[in-house]
Structure 1
Amino acid sequence: MKKILVITLTVLAIMSFKGIDLVGNEFKIVGTVSSDFNGQKVFLAKSINDDVMSKLDSTIVKNGKFTFNGVADKPEQRLIYFEEKLMDGQIAIYAEKGNITINVNAEDIPKSVVGGTLNNNALAKLNVMLIEVGEKEEAFKNEHMDNFSKAKSEGDTETQNRIIQEYSKLTKENNKNYIAFIEENPNSLICAELFPVILKDQDVKAKDLKPIYDKMGPAPKATEMGQKVETYLNQMLANEKAMEATEVGKTAPDFSAATPNGKTLSLNQAKGKVTIIDFWASWCGPCRKENPNVVAMYNELHDKGLNIIGVSLDKDDAKWKGAIEKDNLTWQHISNLQGWDEPIAVQYGVTSIPATVILDKNGVIVARNLRGEELKAKVKELLAE
């Protein structure tokens, strides 16, 4: 969507507009604008991408008004712009059954106010919130960005982290407002568009968001974005459950897969006094870069009880075996050769590699995702017990 519209007090008058009776899926757009616009050509268009619009209809401003009529089988985002004011921006609306009103802000066209139908009224409500969000973020930027840049140039990580944490609080506050909007406007298509914004917060949990999504009406769920959000939330839920089942303190669930020579090897068969489950792949640059450190640690500590079982996210059998040989990875390896669909990675909630899961002598998970000296120190500590 282009620039979001900003609501003003005039929305009260607009939302009380009764219009004329329409039949079927007809819509009528009535715009009110300054008489200075009389004679100007107005276009109804759809966005192809951020730089291209496709014209659908046009009309002329007369006596400070313009009108479009059409049929909408389903609500769709549309743009309205004035030929002589194209560079000043567009007005975003939903073309949908009913009487749609636009009060054009002649001084700032994208700040015009729309209303009259379910989705356009919801859009107007949302813009009240978006203005507040924008003002808060601008104030935060003015207050902190210079200090953040200075701290970054001076290597002051304490100040950087403090500012990042404060911004995170602001993001979470905004997300609470977005969620409240979804709950209050469950049938508006724009609800589905808010989920990607909320999901930018890395701390957000699908177990909290999925019930919010489930309460939405069928219309927003049926949109392309609604379908994408549902798929993503379901994937997140599965990953969260996997992470809970394999968090620190839990006994590592067993698994098995084929070794490079075609035999089947399980985790229980590969355990040592200390066991590292190493998720990697031949195509993973950071994994291959880390391998020499792991090789050195394994050569030093294997005789003292360290075992490693490599779980590869490769798809190509030859490349997997070639990387094992080239990097001198002499510990045990398994893979289902299914890439990111590797069942063991899914079972352990692994969404990025390299990833490690460290087990003690009892097969209990004691740490995850340690690398380098930190990993070696933890292994030595466990071996000494």
Structure 2
Amino acid sequence: MKKILLVIAAITVLISCNKAGENEYIVTGTIKGIADGKSVTLEVQDETGALKPMDTVKIEKGKFTFKGNAKEPEMYLINIETVQGKIPFILENGDIEMNINKDSINITKVTGTYNNEELNSYKDKGIAIQKKMMKFQKDNTVKMTQAQQTKDTVVMNSLRKEYSKFQDEFVKQSDEYVGSHPKAFIAALIIEGMFNQMAPDVTKIKKFYDGLDKEVKDTKHGKKIKKQLDELLKPVVNVDKVEIGGVAPDFSAPNPQGKTVSLKENMGKVTVIDFWASWCKPCRAENPNMVTLYKEFHAKGLNIISVSLDEDGTKWKEAIAKDQLTWAQVSNLKNFEDPIANSYGIKLIPSTFVLDASGKVVAKDLRGAELKAKVAELLK
């Protein structure tokens, strides 16, 4: 009888150690120095990159707990009232634990599930590269300053070349990780980020995507990668019409008020055609630069017409208002099936075409300082 009781007790201990049930998550955080009753919010990014609160609990006896069900892994953030910074982690079914130092929240380790352990490992390697990069900056700040003051381009270029090697290390780390961790959810996040480069290596992206496990491919992010690859690998339509030196094809589409607006009626001394979408994070990040550009040069002859590849009209209009885009806006709300995008051979956004007064394409895919310099040059 005693043996049976011992076995039952042992089983009870095992069950209590694995608190989350099947298809359930329990996120437990321990934090010292924060008063009971303070709020802890579980946040996630929406399609536009804005943070959206999903759940809120209170701290009790230095701890907080979130419970629920995760259909698939997703990157979430923990936001603690009165604490500066947020804790990124992967919300997935299982027991997830955080031991938090309120004064060093950025070094919080999230443990207990496969994808969070993998995230820790990936971050640790990135931090090691970052520390080397910071040491290089500290060791060479004086040298770079002196070179800039004396206009010693040999020294400046040499230091920049050495510094760029750290970026190469980050790329190598990501490539090696994705290639060796086909089951890891963050592999999909890394691949997805590769589309944000100025000139994405589609061959490499496809190779990495093909190597992912089906379970990762079936996540929202895996499906998004597949959709972007399908768009990029489709034959380019009418690309000869939009090469530099060619005349930009005219187009027309509805504006947010439903009125048909054309390129021809929005031409200036210089015209920028901007392809974007409310769900495109790099596009939204670039919009403040476009706003500044328009304010500075519109009176001198710059016009912009933005073509959105949105499908949801409400989100499109909300993004226009939020980002304060005051120039011409049009969209057929057909995503990458938009006929204007097809006629211009658009495979990635953001994408820009700079036209002179005659409608000739004089530059493509410039952003930020490069776009500003080109517009200033044309308006001299």
**TM-score scaled by length of structure 2:** 0.53
What residue number does 1:139 align with?
Answer: 135
Separation in 2, partners of 1:222, 1:117: 19
The Cα of 1:174 is off from its aligned counterpart by: 1.4
The Cα of 1:118 is off from its aligned counterpart by: 2.3
Structure 1 contact 28–67 (Cα < 8 Å) conserved: yes
Deviations 1:323-377 (A, max 9, x none): 9xxxxxxxxxxxxxx765348999xxx9965379xxxxxxxxxxxxxxxxxxxxx
Separation in 2, partners of 1:61, 1:256: 63
Q: What letter is aligned with 1:185?
A: H
After superposition, the Cα gap between the structure-2 partners of 1:204 and 1:155, relative to the gap in structure 1 and judged at 3 Å, is farther
After superposition, the Cα gap between the structure-2 partners of 1:53 and 1:154, relative to the gap in structure 1 and judged at 3 Å, is farther
Structure 1 counterpart SS, 2:167:
helix
What residue number does 1:180 align with?
Answer: 176
Structure 1 regions of 5+ residues with no counterpart? 1-15, 243-254, 258-266, 268-276, 281-286, 288-309, 324-337, 357-385
Percentage of identical aligned residues:
25
What residue number does 2:87 align with?
Answer: 91
The Cα of 1:113 is off from its aligned counterpart by: 1.0
Does residue 1:41 correspond to 2:38, yes or no? yes
What residue number does 1:82 align with?
Answer: 80
What residue number does 1:341 align with?
Answer: 342
What residue number does 1:54 align with?
Answer: 53
Separation in 2, partners of 1:354, 1:340: 18
Structure 2 regions of 5+ residues with no counterpart? 1-13, 253-261, 269-338, 354-360, 365-380
Separation in 1, partners of 2:162, 2:148: 16
Separation in 1, partners of 2:103, 2:15: 23
The Cα of 1:18 is off from its aligned counterpart by: 8.1
Q: What letter is aligned with 1:341?
A: N
Structure 2 contact 27–97 (Cα < 8 Å) conserved: yes
The Cα of 1:211 is off from its aligned counterpart by: 0.8
Which of residues 168, 187, 193 in structure 1 aligns to 2:189?
Answer: 193
Structure 2 contact 38–58 (Cα < 8 Å) conserved: yes
Separation in 2, partners of 1:157, 1:196: 37
Does residue 1:124 correspond to 2:120, yes or no? yes
Structure 1 contact 42–58 (Cα < 8 Å) conserved: yes
Structure 2 counterpart SS, 1:354:
strand
Which of residues 243, 251, 254 in structure 2 aligns to 1:315?
Answer: 251
**TM-score scaled by length of structure 1:** 0.52
After superposition, the Cα gap between the structure-2 partners of 1:73 and 1:146, relative to the gap in structure 1 and judged at 3 Å, is same
Structure 2 contact 37–59 (Cα < 8 Å) conserved: yes
- Aligned residue pairs: how many? 259
Q: What letter is aligned with 1:43?
A: V
The Cα of 1:177 is off from its aligned counterpart by: 0.8
What residue number does 2:70 align with?
Answer: 72
Separation in 2, partners of 1:20, 1:120: 16
Deviations 1:136-185 (A, max 9, x none): 33233334556556656665554444344333332222111112222333
Which shows bigger deviation, 110-119 or 21-30? Answer: 21-30
Which of residues 271, 279, 287 in structure 1 aligns to 2:243?
Answer: 279
Aligned Cα root-mean-square deviation (Å): 4.4
Structure 1 contact 18–99 (Cα < 8 Å) conserved: no
Deviations 1:164-207 (A, max 9, x none): 43333322221111122223332333222223555566676322
Structure 1 contact 345–351 (Cα < 8 Å) conserved: no
What residue number does 1:354 align with?
Answer: 362
The Cα of 1:71 is off from its aligned counterpart by: 2.0
What residue number does 2:29 align with?
Answer: 31
Structure 2 counterpart SS, 1:45:
strand
